Structure 1
C-alpha cells in the first residue's frame, strides 16, 4: 500500500507565521514549498470555482510533478445539487494536465450534514456516481444515517470510495473508523474540536485542534489493519489552523513506520533543511 499524506489545501496563510512553513515565502511560491514536504494535496479552491486548464498546468509546474492532487467537486454538485452538463464537462476535463502527468488522485464529493439519507438523495448520489464512472470518486457524507454497512456495500459495488472521517465527538456524525470500499482509501482528519464544530464561525475555528501522539498512533494502528486491502491510501489533515497539521504529520509518519507501514517522504538531499517547521 502506497500512503500519500497531505493537507486540505496548500494556500494556508496561517503557515506564514514565524517559524512555520511559509515564513518569508511569497504566495506564488507556496505550492513549490509545499511540494518539498508533502506528496499529496487536497484542492479546495475547486469547490468555489472550477479552475481552467491553465490553472492546473500551473499547479503541475509549480509542484514539479511531485504532488498527487485530489480535486474537490464544485459546490453545485454537492450543496446546490443542480449540476448542468457543462458543469460535468468542465469538472472532468479541466484537471487534464494532472491526469496526463499521472498525478491526479480521486475526485472528492464533500456533502454537507444536511444531506440526509432520503430516497431523493439516494437517487441523486447514484446519478452522480454514474456520471463519474471511469474516474475515482471519493464521497464524504457527514450525516450519521449514511454510516451503515449497506451503504458502504453499495459503494463497493460501484467502485466508489467511502471517505473515512475523523470528526469530533459532537453527535450526529459518522464514527471515526477506516472503511474500505475500493482499491483506494481516503481518510480526512478534521480534528476533535467538539466545542466549535457546530458553533464555530469559520472552518478555521472548527479545525482548530492539535492531535496528540496517542491519537496519531491510534490512526496508525487502524491504517495498518487495512494495509493488505488497499493499493493506495490518501490521508489529509484538515486541521491546518495555526499549523497544527504541520506538527501532526511527522507524528503520523513516525507512527506508521513503527507499525510496519512504510511512508515515503521527500528526500532530504533534494531539499536541505531550511530551518522551518517540518
Structure 2
C-alpha cells in the first residue's frame, strides 16, 4: 500500500512553478487550492520563523481538503535559540495550538536542529524528556554526530522518528525502522536548488515501497525542481 506514504513539498507559494505547475493565468491566491488537487500533504515551515496562532492553523484547516495532512515545523525559538533549554511551556503551547488548530489533519511535528547542535548524551536526554508522546515527533539533525546507534536505539524505544535527509553534507540513509518514514529532500549538490534525476527518484521510490506510514517532502523549492520532483515521485508511487 504505497499510498500510506504521502508525498508533498515544503513550500507552495512559488513563482518559479508558474507554467511548469501552476497555470500561467491562475491567481496566486488560488495556488494552495491547486496544490491540494495534486497532493495530500504539505510541510508547513512558516511556523519555524514565526510562532503560530490558533487562528492561523484553523484557517489552514478550513481551506484544505478532507483527509489532507500537515506536518508542522517547530519554531526556531525552541530548536535554534533556546535549543530545548527552559522552553517546556513554550513547546507545550506549540503542541496545543497544533492539536486544536489542525485537529485530524495534523501529521507529524518536525524538530530541525542547527548544524552546530552536535551529539551529546545530555542533549539526547533533553530531547527524550521534553517531547509530548501524544504526537508523532520527527527529529531532523544537521550534524553527522547524531548518526549513531545510541541515538537510533533511544529513539526507537521512545517512539521517535529519526528524519532521513538528502543534504549535501550529511549521510543519505533512508531509515525505515522508525515509527514513521519521514524524508526531506533538500537538493544535492546545491541545497534548495538542485533537482533529482529520474534514476535517483526511481531508487528513492524503491526505498519507500512499504506499508509503513510516512511523509516525503521536497524542500528543493528555490527553483522549479521541488514541484517537478514531487510530481514525478508521486507518479511512480501509485
Structure 1 length as normaliser, TM-score?
A: 0.77
The 1:152/1:23 distance shift into structure 2, 3 A limit, reads farther
1-structure distance, mates of 2:86, 2:34: 35
Structure 2 length as normaliser, TM-score?
A: 0.89
2-structure distance, mates of 1:38, 1:154: 33
1:199 corresponds in structure 2 to: none
**Alignment counterpart, residue 200 of structure 2, candidates 212, 215, 233:** 215
> Given the alignment of the two structures, is residue 64 of structure 1 paired with residue 65 of structure 2, yes or no?
yes
Return 5+ residue gaps in structure 2 as ranges. none
Return 5+ residue gaps in structure 1 as ranges. 197-205, 257-262, 264-278
> Given the alignment of the two structures, is residue 103 of structure 1 paired with residue 105 of structure 2, yes or no?
yes
> Given the alignment of the two structures, is residue 242 of structure 1 paired with residue 223 of structure 2, yes or no?
yes
The 1:120/1:13 distance shift into structure 2, 3 A limit, reads farther
**Alignment counterpart, residue 11 of structure 2, candidates 9, 25, 33:** 9
How many pairs are equivalent?
234
* Mapping 1:67-106, distance limit 5 Å: 67-80=68-81, 81=83, 82=85, 84-100=87-103, 102-106=104-108
Superposition misfits of 4+ residues, deviation over 6 angstroms: none
Superposed displacement of residue 36, structure 1? 1.0
**Alignment counterpart, residue 177 of structure 1, candidates 165, 170, 173:** 173
Whichever of the two has the greater Rg, that structure is: 1
Partner SS state of residue 61, structure 2:
helix
Superposed displacement of residue 128, structure 1? 2.9
1:268 corresponds in structure 2 to: none
* Mapping 1:81-230, distance limit 5 Å: 81=83, 82=85, 84-100=87-103, 102-129=104-131, 132-168=132-168, 170=169, 173=170, 175-193=171-189, 196=190, 206-224=191-209, 227-228=210-211, 230=212
1-structure distance, mates of 2:43, 2:198: 23
RMSD: 2.0
**Alignment counterpart, residue 233 of structure 2, candidates 237, 252, 256:** 252
The 1:8/1:157 distance shift into structure 2, 3 A limit, reads same
Range with bigger deviation, 30-39 or 247-256:
247-256
2-structure distance, mates of 1:104, 1:254: 24
2-structure distance, mates of 1:49, 1:181: 32
Which structure's relative contact order is higher, taking Cα pairs within 8 Å and 6+ residues apart? 2
The 1:254/1:217 distance shift into structure 2, 3 A limit, reads same
